[in-house]
Amino acid sequence: MIHILCANPALDRTIYVQAFYPNGVTRSSASHEGLGGKGFNVALPFIVTNEQKTIHMHTFFGGPVGEQLAQMMKNAQLAGETTFIEGDNRYCTILVNESKQEAALINEQGPSITEKEQQQFLQSLFCSLKAGDHLVLSGSLPKGTPLTFYRDIIAQAESRGVQTILDSSGDALAYGAEAKPWLIKINGEEFLDLMGVKEEAANRQQQIEESLKNSPYPNCIVTLGGEGTVAKINGDIWRVTLPTINVTNATASGDIFLGTFIREWRKTNDVKAALLAGSALSLANCLHWLPTIDFAQAEQYQQKIHIERVGSAV
Amino acid sequence: MIHILCANPALDRTIYVQAFYPNGVTRSSASHEGLGGKGFNVALPFIVTNEQKTIHMHTFFGGPVGEQLAQMMKNAQLAGETTFIEGDNRYCTILVNESKQEAALINEQGPSITEKEQQQFLQSLFCSLKAGDHLVLSGSLPKGTPLTFYRDIIAQAESRGVQTILDSSGDALAYGAEAKPWLIKINGEEFLDLMGVKEEAANRQQQIEESLKNSPYPNCIVTLGGEGTVAKINGDIWRVTLPTINVTNATASGDIFLGTFIREWRKTNDVKAALLAGSALSLANCLHWLPTIDFAQAEQYQQKIHIERVGSAV
């Protein structure tokens, strides 16, 4: 089973406008609502392939927005443990300016989680985790939780034979990494920061590959945006080179990459296939305004994505 | 009893940001939710003065947003007739850029009302109207309703001894005006348009005063933004001159004016007092990001608002 922790879910509201007046009245042409928050985006590849039964969500819902999210989760046939909270879930507004082809993401903070709610959440999480499972910890920490929230979960889960995957940023990432998760997904800047290495722009990819060899983390996927990806998996260093595309909206691309990677990995144990599938679907997602899994587009990209093993860890 | 028809209610979401990135990620500092739609703004002066019992709302609610609006209406102790609809109510997003002191209103269209829902609505409306009541028809028409929706309501209500007040725009206004409502609230441009008069910028206020004298509408309030207001009430022509202020957000000012005018009128039958109270509260509202009734600020303005009778209708 793959467990996905979505600590700060959101009702994603995409509002389409033909023009935007920052100090006046704008009329929208259409709007769309979706189940948001990084964890739910990680779940997308499983929903589209009708493999919801292989994943299990862990999240906090509260208030009228939480009720809507619970209904959306049900409609998507996603099972999981929900901790009901006093606070209201947040909205994320995506303002798509169609004539300018721009998308503005306006992220709200989300509710504060009380200590009692955290305890309830942790209890149901650990009741549900079993040795051999994977656990994805995705996104920022909600208000009210300690900076060590992910770290403590990772440590306890790993000690029970669960392979943990951390995809966060800032303090949540730095503390979480301390517990040595099975896999860290991280961008280039944060990786060098975590390794205490000063970035040299001219030599960035090579620098990251070298640092990866020496990193204390068992497995690491370092994303470099359009430049591609560098990864250390099972002692091998991999380099993924991507074709150039015209990005419409990159939102959720990293999450779709991760969900697809884990899905493929659990099935085949084939690193290269998992990196390829993840890269292709995350590229295809960039062509859409809304988070989208497009297998046809991804297949076209697969031939243009170059993946090679460039070394091994020390 | 004052009846207020709010045909296209909205969940007003005000999102505060320190800076806005039209093609990137913006983090909001706070957000606020309110019961929106022009009719509910007209109700504000009655809510703040705890006079909800003198008004009766008529509206359409549907979907999860409709449930939230119904709860907000209950919390505000507003009674009324609600027609529950298949469609989902809309959001209006107000994006306040605090550092630039700008507010962007993003208005969504709202749901389509089926013919059956319209029939239900009209039946409950006419069961509830009594001779001597006032009926305010505020805002745009929802999708699905005919352009004659307000016109037919006005004609039937007036024939039953109800005094109707129309505050709309475009076709809904043009058709509605045909039925000769007791009072029309309208801006200068639309008034001249309705009268078939070509606007002369240099002489606008005088031109409107002359047109008002000859207008076929029994009572008319013509708003001219910062220039003030010209009104024909009971055969007299009134001119309201406003002090200059620094506007923060003028949203709902017209509705607050109208609600206050009707409230004062029903109590005192004193035109000048009603125009003064409405003007002062609508000015004070312009100093706030959210629709706000501020009696203390309004009192300060009252001395600076000049109201004179400038003539009488032909």
How many residues are present in chain B? 314
Which chain B residues have a beta carbon less than 8 Å from that of A63? none
Say whether residue A18 is in contact with chain B using an 8 A CB cutoff. no
Of A113, A39, A107, A106, residue with least CA distance to A73: A39
Distance from CA of A110 to the nearest CA of B (A): 10
Of the residues B12, B17, B95, the best mutation for testing chain A's interface (the one with the most A CB atoms within 10 Å of its CB) is B95
- Could you tell me where in chain B the CATH 3.40.1190.20 domains are found? 1-180, 182-313
Confidence class for position A15, pLDDT limits 50, 70, 90: very high
Q: What is the pLDDT of residues A105-121, one digit of tens each?
A: 999 999 999 999 999 99
Q: Percent helix, strand, coil in chain B (nearest 5)?
A: 40, 30, 30
CB contact under 8 A, B22 and A68: no
Which pLDDT score, from 0 to 100, does residue B144 have?
97
Say whether residue B148 is in contact with chain A using an 8 A CB cutoff. no
CB contact under 8 A, A109 and B23: no
Which pLDDT score, from 0 to 100, does residue B35 have?
97
E-strand ranges in chain B read 2-6, 10-17, 25-36, 55-61, 80-84, 90-97, 102-107, 134-138, 163-167, 183-187, 219-223, 229-233, 236-241, 306-312
A314 has pLDDT over 80: no
Which pLDDT score, from 0 to 100, does residue B250 have?
87
Q: B113 is written with which tokens?
A: 């009302």
CB contact under 8 A, A91 and B23: no
Partner residue opposite A17 with nearest CB, options B15, B68, B106: B106
Topology given in CATH for the domain delimited by A1-181: UDP-N-acetylmuramoyl-L-alanine:D-glutamate ligase (3.40.1190)
Confidence class for position A156, pLDDT limits 50, 70, 90: very high
Which chain A residues have a beta carbon less than 8 Å from that of B107? 25-28
- Could you tell me where in chain A the CATH 3.40.1190.20 domains are found? 1-181, 184-314
Closest residue, chain B, to A106 (C-alpha): B26
Which pLDDT score, from 0 to 100, does residue A253 have?
92
Q: What is the CATH superfamily name and number for domain B182-313?
A: Ribokinase (3.40.1190.20)
Average pLDDT, chain A: 95
Q: What is the CATH superfamily name and number for domain B1-180?
A: Ribokinase (3.40.1190.20)
Q: What is the pLDDT of residues B32-80, one digit of tens each?
A: 999 999 999 999 999 999 999 999 999 999 999 999 999 999 999 999 9
Helix or strand holding residue B260 (H, E): helix B253-268
Q: Percent helix, strand, coil in chain A (nearest 5)?
A: 40, 30, 30
Q: What is the pLDDT of residues A250-262, one digit of tens each?
A: 889 999 999 999 9
Which pLDDT score, from 0 to 100, does residue B200 have?
80
Average of per-residue pLDDT across A231-235: 95
CB contact under 8 A, B31 and A108: yes
Say whether residue B250 is in contact with chain A using an 8 A CB cutoff. no
Residue A116 burial (C-beta neighbours within 10 Å; 0-12, 13-18, 19+):
exposed
Confidence class for position A71, pLDDT limits 50, 70, 90: very high
Average of per-residue pLDDT across A163-186: 96
Residue A259 burial (C-beta neighbours within 10 Å; 0-12, 13-18, 19+):
buried
Say whether residue A27 is in contact with chain B using an 8 A CB cutoff. yes
Find the angle CA(B30)-CA(B36)-CA(B42) to the nearest 5 degrees. 125
Closest residue, chain A, to B106 (C-alpha): A26
Average of per-residue pLDDT across A112-134: 98
Q: What is the pLDDT of residues B135-190, one digit of tens each?
A: 999 999 999 999 999 999 999 999 999 999 999 999 999 999 999 999 999 999 99
Average of per-residue pLDDT across B106-124: 97
Topology given in CATH for the domain delimited by A184-314: UDP-N-acetylmuramoyl-L-alanine:D-glutamate ligase (3.40.1190)
Contact A136, A163 (CB under 8 A): no
Partner residue opposite A93 with nearest CB, options B15, B90, B100: B15
Contact A78, A56 (CB under 8 A): no
